[in-house]
Chains A and B, each alone.
Chain A
């Protein structure tokens, strides 16, 4: 029974990391019609800033970890802001292929920068004892890292939903996901919303970078690649542009992976997720919650 709950916690934790990356991607694609292949590298780049922050503090204290998470989040947001401003904005009128190539190129540059700066080998991030251990939850030992990542994903989800539902900027984003042209026709500068949403996506990727290290304990220049692939699968299964759908799909994918890997055989989880994706594309191409005009 302990194993079951441990796998449950691990699955939700992995799903939480997928959500952190996928939520931003989903909003970005929904509003801007841009598939950002740079987000995996953004996660990696931010994660290394977290490692640098922890190393700068020297001791693996809770305060240092919090600082590393904040730095990683801000680095993700800042890089995303610059990417949108310098590279994507001139590309909006040029169609999907140009945008896709630009984001892929930026991703490669970020990964190259990390490789040049830190080398290709894994770099570990020291964690404070109270995060690297486990705590007893109703008699089951659950890794603290799993609770931290799940809590972060739920907080981000609540924050994004509040932003979308309760602010004018959120209202503009929701309207823009439906029809950006009509938003312009009401005198609203959608380009500002594009920059804001891409930056929010970057902040979330940065947060995912630090929390991925909390979960896997070490970073490589290709840390974000796997997360990016599963984040895309999550947004397709959840329904592009739907945050609740993304949240549920992220949990579904994370749990399917972990349970299949444990109870079937190693690697079965990936097959199961791909089977889920294929099934969804065949039976319900718009995804679980994909419905025109609804993102919250």
Chain B
């Protein structure tokens, strides 16, 4: 199995708090790796470290080349796409402008693919992103991440704060996306994680507590030890 991203000894400190403590992780090519863990264990910090938003030490190797010293925009140009935790759409810009920002020189924008996945966006191109619902904003955020072909799509909590119906739509889209791209996801919703994960990584206190394939998700007792699982989120695990 080839590895898209290899992380060795990742340490990240924010202010005076060390968040990640020498973390090792392999993200397998063509598979979906879901990162789970309680709030505050460092899941988003891990994603932001990979993207170079946060200063860190340790080795990050992406498709055989080191990411050391590269700023965020250069890491993205190497083929890492990012869909952030809070969607981070540009609220004052239209949907079309949000998508246009994701275009890149030398890469063909995949508008057809994006509008196949999110037909609603095509009807709302002239609408400002700030006036969209949370689910629609998530579509814009995912569409930006998919507009240009990437080798690794990092998606941070794509279902956070969405209505159950919209969660199902987002999961359906991600199921289609995982056929085409390597996915690294943070997901607190176990139903969504169960539907999408090939591999599972559980973080605890800034360290890898457990890794394995999706069968980890079936072991409720073990999951409870690591996660604060809300009863409602447990539905759909089996």
Contacts and interface: CB of A to CB of B under 8 A. Distances in A.
A39 interface: no
Given A171-B97, A181-B53, A293-B130, A187 B77 contact: yes
B144 to A, nearest CB: 7
B157 to A, nearest CB: 15
Contact size class for B?
20 to 34
Interface string B17-33: 00000000000000000
Interface residues of A, number: 22
A213 to B, nearest CB: 37
B91 A186 contact: no
Q: Which of A172, A181, A291 has the most CB atoms of chain B within a 10 A radius of its CB?
A: A181
Contacts of B51: 185
12 contacts: A175-B90, A178-B91, A179-B90, A184-B71, A184-B72, A185-B53, A185-B84, A186-B82, A186-B144, A187-B77, A187-B148, A292-B92
B7 interface: no
Interface stretch (B99-107, B194-202, B224-232): B99-107
Contact of A178 (B76, B92, B102): B92
Contacts of A179: 88, 90
B71 A172 contact: no
A184 B73 contact: yes
A186 B84 contact: no
B132 to A, nearest CB: 13
B125 interface: no
B166 interface: no
Interface string B143-187: 010001000000000000000000000000000000000000000
B76 A174 contact: no
B93 interface: yes
Given A182-B90, A185-B82, A185-B88, 12 more contacts: A175-B90, A175-B93, A178-B90, A181-B88, A182-B88, A186-B144, A187-B104, A188-B101, A189-B71, A189-B73, A292-B92, A293-B91
A190 interface: yes
At the interface, is chain B mostly helix, strand, loop or mixed?
mixed
Interface of B: 51, 53, 71-73, 76-77, 82, 84, 88, 90-93, 97, 100-102, 104, 130, 144, 148
A188 B82 CA distance: 13
A123 interface: no
A51 to B, nearest CB: 41
Q: Which of A182, A183, A186, A292 has the most CB atoms of chain B within a 10 A radius of its CB?
A: A186
A295 interface: yes
B92 A293 contact: yes
A174 B73 contact: no
Contacts of A284: none
A294 interface: yes
Interface string A272-296: 0000000000000000000111110
Contacts of A184: 53, 71-73, 76
Q: Which of B77, B82, B101, B102 has the most CB atoms of chain A within a 10 A radius of its CB?
A: B101
A247 to B, nearest CB: 18
A295 B102 CA distance: 20
A53 B73 CA distance: 43
A171 B101 CA distance: 8
Contacts of B90: 174-175, 178-179, 182, 293
